[in-house]
Structure 1
Amino acid sequence: MLQWLFGRSFDPNEDIQSLVGRIVLVTGGNNGLGKETVLQLAKHQPQEIFLAARTRSKAEAAIAEIKAAVPNANVTFLELDLSSFASIEQAAKDFQARSDRLDILINNAGIAGVPYSTTGDGYEIQFGTNHMGHALLTKLLLSTLLKTAERPDADVRVINVTSKGHMFAPAPGIIYDQAALEKQKSLTRYGHSKLANILHARELQHRCPSITATAVHPGVIITDIYNTYSETSWAMRFLTPIAKAVTPYGILPDVYDISGGALTQLWTASASREEVRSSYYWTPIGVKSAGTSYAQDAGLAAELWEWTEKEFAKHGL
């Protein structure tokens, strides 16, 4: 396919520079894009990668596979359930007890296409996991990120994995009334949470200029996450098998397998600091994008940040 359809060329084996001495944390690192991201970063000798996931057995199986491919990899399990504030708070404490620096935080984990429900803390499940969970984790690790950014060799990055699906966010972009979200379709609620990921990265960069914060759309990745959509959408039930069949041949632009889907977050984790900081949102592979009008709204980003902080305060966080 023509190069313009797929963005820049990027080979993680050749184009990621040495990560010696760096500490990395990847959420949802036990499968899919997260696992591939950990694997590729591990090849470049970071001091340690924390693989954050809910289930120890699945995380340890993933770590074993990664170490089989990269024998000298130092990958550590960090227990984390992004739908639970208590779990996130404990994960942050566990991390900070084991490391006094954090160079790269990749907020990769997420859920999609699930029926309406709420987290134990009272937030719509997709918004609560994809936005509130990652926003709280970032908040609780912010002191470590900022401390690391003071080092002479610092290059601290926070990468939120979002989606072009943010275009499905409802008017007026963000709905703060979590009960009202029950009236929205599952895809709309997903887009709502993914828009929040972009706005969070945008405002984090604004408030903490010593940190490089951005959001990435990895492409349309045909993984098991689409099985959920197929259960609730006749269109996805029809289109998913077709997309899976043609993905290996590069026929469809912006549709990738796991290894291709991880490239944009790997690029943002390793490309030049100045270039990555030049956009709050990237599409494959390393293509600058503005996103929707809501994603471009700096006022909405600040509003969401303030609302999120007030919600954390209600929970004593």
Structure 2
Amino acid sequence: MPRTFNSAKDIPSLEEKVILITGGNAGIGASTVRALALHQPACIYLCARKISAAEALIQSIHETSPKANIVPLQLDLSSFDSIRRCAEEFNQQSDRLDILFLNAGICATPPTLTNEGYESQFGVNHVGHALLTQLLIPKMLRTQQDHPKADVRIHCTSSMGGVVFVPATGLDLQQMDKADAFSHGMVRYGHSKLSNILFARALAQHYPGINTTSSHPGTVKSDIWGKAYEEHKWLSRLLAPVVWMTGVSTDEGAKTQLWCATAATGKGNGLVENGKFYVPTGKLSDDNKNQKNQALVDELWEWTSKELAKHGAPGWPATI
């Protein structure tokens, strides 16, 4: 584990790399984009629900990193049509993809369903990202083939909510077509965040040449808490003072995923190990029964693959 991580100094050159990040317009996503822009990647594709929000951030970044090449893409993870359009636009514009940040997320929202009928938090935080990954991973495999020295990675932004708010029995995927699954928003959130951890493990197993990790950013003072407080007044009374007193900035919260996506890979202290879950900053967290349950990893992968196929998704490609 690195005792400190300075994104300005410790991230190596990103020259020639193409990066795509979801939810890159706000919170730790915006901080991630700002940090990456300092290291001159070939291009950062910034996905956001509102193009205007992405464009505003890009304009702000250009004040300090005027040469940064950042392209906005519209993406609504609650809509498979939007996900397909985003992936198609990216695949038409770029001939490679080196780093994919599955960063976007929602928390403790009111009971609603996505366009395709999944509980909204699970649908956005996991299912939508899974479809996007399925549509982009052929480009990542091609990047590996065409550029043998490329260091291709995927990072899933998760949360300790995937540990704290999920029962010891693990996921209950049969509930994921119900808006009010589990009758509590934070339990629904926990299922989506545990799924991020399990999905990263599954990707690492199916595509071992792509280093895939997940992480908890810490308790961050970000916009994600706003709707949670609105929906659950008790949560505001309980957590708001804690977040205010102990929470970290979005720049600090972005450090672990930046480390996971750019630090040296391998097994051992200070190295990024494929399939693992990390907490700030770069500390391996591998002691929760659910997150390392291979049966849950397999169940989620199979369930997700079947659900995506129902909606005409192309399926997972073979490794090249």
TM-score, structure 2 length as denominator? 0.91
Q: Give the CA deviation at 1:162.
A: 0.2
Residues in 2 aligned to 1:181 and 1:289: alpha-carbon distance in whole angstroms: 31
Q: Which shifted more, 156-165 or 52-61?
A: 52-61
Partner of 2:249: 257
Q: How many percent identity over aligned positions?
A: 44
The CA deviation at 1:39 is 0.7
Query: Aligned in 2, Cα 1:244/1:199: closer, same or farther, shift over 3 Å?
Result: closer
Question: Where does 1:224-235 land on structure 2 (aligned, <5 Å)?
Answer: 224-235=223-234
Distance in 2 between residues matched to 1:97 and 1:171, nearest whole Å: 44
In the TM superposition, 1:56-205 aligns within 5 A as 56-150=51-145, 151-167=147-163, 168-170=165-167, 172-177=169-174, 178-180=176-178, 182-184=180-182, 185-205=184-204
Distance 2:110 2:243 in 1: 24
Coordinate RMSD, CA, aligned:
1.6
* Separation of aligned partners in 1, 2:293 and 2:244: 38
Which shifted more, 7-16 or 206-215? 7-16
- Which region of structure 1 is more displaced relative to structure 2, 301-310 or 221-230? 221-230
C-alpha displacement at 1:291, in angstroms?
5.1
Q: For residues 71-124 of structure 1, give each alpha carbon's deviation from its aligned partner in whole angstroms, at most 9, with x where no partner exists.
A: 110000011111111111111110010011100000000000101111010100
Unaligned runs of 5+ in 1: 247-251
Q: Which runs of 5+ in 2 are unaligned?
A: 314-320
Aligned to 2:3: 8
Q: Does 1:300 align with 2:309?
A: no
CA contact (8 A) 1:219 1:284 kept: yes
Q: Which residue of 1 aligns with 2:207?
A: 208
Is 1:290 paired with 2:282? no
Amino acid at match of 2:166: A
Residue of structure 1 equivalent to 2:258:
266
Tell me, what secondary structure is at the counterpart of 2:180?
helix
Matched, 1:36 2:31: yes
Please say if residues 28 and 251 of structure 2, whose CA atoms lie closer than 8 Å, have aligned partners that are also in contact: yes
SS in 2 for 1:205: helix
User: Residues of 1 paired with 2:95 and 2:233: CA distance?
Assistant: 49
